[in-house]
Structure 1
Amino acid sequence: MDTTFSAIANNIKNRRSVKPAAMNGNKIPNGHIAAILELANWAPTHALTEPWHFIVYENPAEFCKQHAELYEANSLGDNFNPTVFTNLTHQGDKASHVIIAVMKRGNLPKIPQFEEIAAASCAVQNLLLGATSLNIASFWSTGGMALRPAFKEFFKFGEEDAIMGVLYLGYADQYPEGKRNTPVEEKITWIK
């Protein structure tokens, strides 16, 4: 196989989720963030709708404070858990940047929403693979308030838009080992 395929395959196979608490607090140059966002912009997209949108926090503490306050404001009575509030407040303490990934619905209703979500997911994957190639650790989270309507409303997105998740980016001193539970051969049906 040629070296381009090998390099791409190596990058894909070495991408790992690194929880923000396992990051080391070192800052990523904004130019690196801009470069991986440029890769995200080259995701496949039906009818060139390019439905991805990213909100970048250079200071994760600002996002985490907002996230925790949003949780508190939307937790009625006994639903409020102080531990969750504290965890959300400090989730990004060791991250360098936080990016909110969004599928922002365009003005072509003939394109099914699932295709727009798939395109936005591809944009996120491009971003994560770009991060891996720059030795940037990443974690794609849908926890906390990320998938709740109040989160989308906080960022002023529309009803048909979808929050894809919160991406924590930073550097790490160690990465988890990669594994797959099922061999690829068990996931493929060849038809002759």
Structure 2
Amino acid sequence: MKSVKLMNKEYLNQIIRERRAIFPAQYNDQPVSEELIKVLLENANWAPTHRLTEPWRFKVIRGAAKDRLGTFLSDTYTDITPEDSFSPFKHKKIKNNCSLASAIIAICMKRDDKERVPEWEEIAATSMAVQNMWLTCAAHHVGCYWSSPGFIKYMDEFFDFEEGEKCLGFLYLGNYEDDDSISSKRSPMEDKVIWLDQ
């Protein structure tokens, strides 16, 4: 029988419940190490996957590539936004998010070539891979934020996608200072559950 190492269950509960979206404006200038990014990606690779399709694909964007992405995203926002809806603040924020992040991981999903499972299952599997990364970030006190703006549908103009691959958003990464104001809340679980015993 395979031996199983006991994990710290209370620490697991703590990490899950203290995971937060930490936004690029909150990041400091300390880089997130390549070693940690590789740990995030490896943990993502162990997400549940129906029929082992492993649909998650990731593109790590750092250095000058972040500036190229920021320019592309802000230009795309300008191109697709009606003049009466255009926000100079949002335009600047899009570009700043890329420059403020230590690294950005493009979250992509590649559809199973044989379409053996519904697309929603492939998206769900990719989302669980992202949750693995997010929890790993929380455990290492690294900030991250999943953004899925409407213009991700234009990312085939920036990336060379495989057949059946598309972008689901961006995971911004950065180190941050401790801040007691970073908190969250949930309504009671009892309001969301019905128990059926008979």
**How far does residue 119 in structure 1 lie from its aligned partner after superposition?**
0.3
Give the number of aligned pairs: 188
Residue 83 of structure 2 corresponds to residue 116 of structure 1 = no
**What does residue 109 of structure 2 align with?**
103
State the distance in 2 between where 1:115 and 1:3 align.
29
Task: State, as a whole percentage, how many aligned pairs show the same letter.
Answer: 34
**What does residue 183 of structure 1 align with?**
188
**How far does residue 158 in structure 1 lie from its aligned partner after superposition?**
6.6
Cα distance change on mapping 1:159 and 1:76 into 2, 3 Å: farther
**What does residue 8 of structure 1 align with?**
12
Of 142, 147, 168, which aligns to 1:164? 168
Q: AA paired with 1:186?
A: D
Of 125, 140, 144, which aligns to 1:134? 140
State the distance in 2 between where 1:35 and 1:154 align.
26
**TM-score of the pair, normalised by structure 1:** 0.87
**TM-score of the pair, normalised by structure 2:** 0.85
**What does residue 53 of structure 1 align with?**
57
Q: AA paired with 1:187?
A: K
Cα distance change on mapping 1:108 and 1:5 into 2, 3 Å: farther
What is the aligned-residue RMSD (CA, Å)? Answer: 2.2
**What does residue 24 of structure 1 align with?**
28
State the distance in 1 between where 2:154 and 2:58 align.
18
Q: Which moved more, 1:12-21 or 1:80-89?
A: 80-89
State the distance in 2 between where 1:35 and 1:3 align.
18
Q: AA paired with 1:37?
A: L
Q: AA paired with 2:20?
A: R
Cα distance change on mapping 1:77 and 1:3 into 2, 3 Å: closer
**What does residue 71 of structure 2 align with?**
65
Of 67, 82, 87, which aligns to 2:93? 87
The alignment partner of 1:145 has SS state of helix
Structure 1: which 4+ aligned runs deviate by more than 4 Å?
Answer: 75-81
Gaps of 5+ in 1: none
Gaps of 5+ in 2: 1-5
**What does residue 3 of structure 2 align with?**
none
State the distance in 2 between where 1:81 and 1:183 align.
37
Deviations 1:120-172 (A, max 9, x none): 000000011111111110111113623xx212443244785442211111011
**How far does residue 88 in structure 1 lie from its aligned partner after superposition?**
1.4
